[in-house]
Structure 1
Amino acid sequence: MKSYKGRGIVLHTLKYGDSSLIVHLLTDTGGRRSYMVQGVRSTRGRGSKAALFQPMFAVEFEGLESPRMQMDRFREVRSGLVFRTLPFDVRKSTVALFMAEVLYRLVKESERNEALFDFVWGSVEALDALDEGTANFHLWFLAQLSRLLGFAPGNDYAEGDWFDVREGRYTPRPPRQPPCLTQEEARTLAQLLGCDVRALGTLSLDRRRRVEFLDAMLAYYGYHLDAMGAVQSLHVLREVF
């Protein structure tokens, strides 16, 4: 078996058998990778390891790969970040659940993407450290993630612009063909793209604007990426925010 060290963000877990898990990680070494974790759900021995594999939790690990196995294993795995608030704040945990599902649906490549990984790792750190603006964090995350996925706006925003989803550009007039972001949604997109994550609490978005903008962004993602589908965690997010 070949061993390697890396860092990862938990995107999804699946129960396997009586005591094992299949864990999907976004890693710094090889994009999205899957790991078989045996005995992790056992009430004896290593049962506490299951706590490491919550949505968007960061881990450091030594992995094992073999051409005879369909999935890699962990020789060693431990927490990669010491969280201050994320596991204990239901609002932040809900945002993390949404982020993990979006990434799990979108990231399929098993190739290293340093810029994407660094952004996601940094986003987890920022969410944990955030004091104000948690209700806007998932919107900021989607806006910023569009840059890493290659379909962020291709021009600068001007007051009163609409946003043409098909062309990926702000426009002074409504586009002839849908879909598009309204003037209010286009302004929100520009604000989020230009906003420091630590200043999210200064954005005055009420619940209606958050819901409408989130729907618009999911449609924007869905237009460019077929893998979006129906985001299962969306109803939980809407209940909390």
Structure 2
Amino acid sequence: MKSYKARGVVLHTLKYGDSSMVVYLLTDVGGRRSYMVQGVRSTRGRGSKLALFQPMFAVEFEGLESPRRQMDSFREIRSGAVLRSVPFDVRKSTIALFMAEVLYRLVRESEPNGPLFDFVWGSVGALDAMEEGVANFHLWFLANLSRFLGFYPGNAYTAGAFFDIREGLYTKTPPPHAGYMSGEHARTLDDFIRCDVRCLGEIGLNRRQRVGFLDALLVYYGYHLDAIRAVQSVKILQEVF
């Protein structure tokens, strides 16, 4: 079997049999890929590896391609980054769960996408390091993820503009259809697109505003990618934030 070295971010896992699992990763070498991990749930030998496969955990590994199987396997795997807060902070772990499910539902390509992978990998580190503005992180992530999914805003924001969801453009007047963001949400979208992730604490939103803007973003995503409607962790996110 051919081997290769790669980095990946954990998106989803499925139990397989009594002691094995299927792990879905976003990888730098082949987009989204699935891997069979045998014996990972066993109390003997390799049980400690289970801790690596949490939502949005970054890993480095040596993979094995099998021409007879649809899924690859691991020869070696280890942590790709030491996460000091995500596993222990309920706010950050909730956001990580949401990010992982969004990527699992929306990213299907099995081809390398360097810019997308670098954005996701960097987002994991940014979330872990963040001290202020955590409640805004999922909004920043969704607003900027659109750049890599093909429907990023196509023009610059101007004061008082609306945002046409169908066309992906800021407009001076409301479009002649219901698919647009209000002036408030259009301004917030621009704030998150222009904001450095380290400065999210400077965007002052209350709970009502965060929930409203998240709903607007989900409508925006839903128009372009219907699979966003299957993301179940939105409900948990709304309870926490």
Give TM-score, length-normalised by structure 2.
0.99
Do the aligned partners of 1:165 and 1:178 also contact (CA within 8 Å) in 2?
no
Correspondence for 1:212 = 212
Instruction: Within 5 Å, give how 1:131-150 maps onto structure 2.
Output: 131-150=131-150
Cα separation, 2, equivalents of 1:219 and 1:128: 28
Cα separation, 2, equivalents of 1:102 and 1:211: 17
Q: Following TM superposition, by how much is the alpha carbon of 1:51 offset from its aligned partner in structure 2, in angstroms? A: 0.5
Do the aligned partners of 1:23 and 1:34 also contact (CA within 8 Å) in 2?
yes
Correspondence for 1:49 = 49
Q: Following TM superposition, by how much is the alpha carbon of 1:190 offset from its aligned partner in structure 2, in angstroms? A: 0.2
Do the aligned partners of 2:157 and 2:170 also contact (CA within 8 Å) in 1?
yes
**More divergent stretch after superposition (229-238 vs 135-144):** 229-238
Q: Following TM superposition, by how much is the alpha carbon of 1:161 offset from its aligned partner in structure 2, in angstroms? A: 0.7
Cα separation, 2, equivalents of 1:156 and 1:48: 49
Cα separation, 2, equivalents of 1:124 and 1:89: 14
RMSD over aligned Cα atoms = 0.7
User: Gapped runs of 5+ residues in structure 1?
Assistant: none
Cα separation, 1, equivalents of 2:70 and 2:184: 48
Which residue identity is paired with 1:25? L
**More divergent stretch after superposition (190-199 vs 172-181):** 172-181
Correspondence for 2:192 = 192
Which residue identity is paired with 2:13? T
User: Gapped runs of 5+ residues in structure 2?
Assistant: none
Which residue identity is paired with 1:222? G
Asked if 1:113 corresponds to 2:118, the answer is no
Asked if 1:33 corresponds to 2:50, the answer is no
Identity %: 73
Structure 1 stretches of at least 4 aligned residues deviating more than 4 Å after TM superposition: none
Correspondence for 2:157 = 157
Q: Following TM superposition, by how much is the alpha carbon of 1:23 offset from its aligned partner in structure 2, in angstroms? A: 0.2
Do the aligned partners of 2:105 and 2:230 also contact (CA within 8 Å) in 1?
no
Q: Following TM superposition, by how much is the alpha carbon of 1:189 offset from its aligned partner in structure 2, in angstroms? A: 0.1
Which residue identity is paired with 1:35? Y
Cα separation, 1, equivalents of 2:150 and 2:157: 18
Number of equivalences: 241
Cα separation, 2, equivalents of 1:129 and 1:21: 30
Q: Following TM superposition, by how much is the alpha carbon of 1:150 offset from its aligned partner in structure 2, in angstroms? A: 1.6
Helix, strand or coil: the match of 2:230? coil
**More divergent stretch after superposition (49-58 vs 144-153):** 144-153
Cα separation, 1, equivalents of 2:165 and 2:6: 37
Correspondence for 2:64 = 64
Correspondence for 1:225 = 225
Correspondence for 1:6 = 6
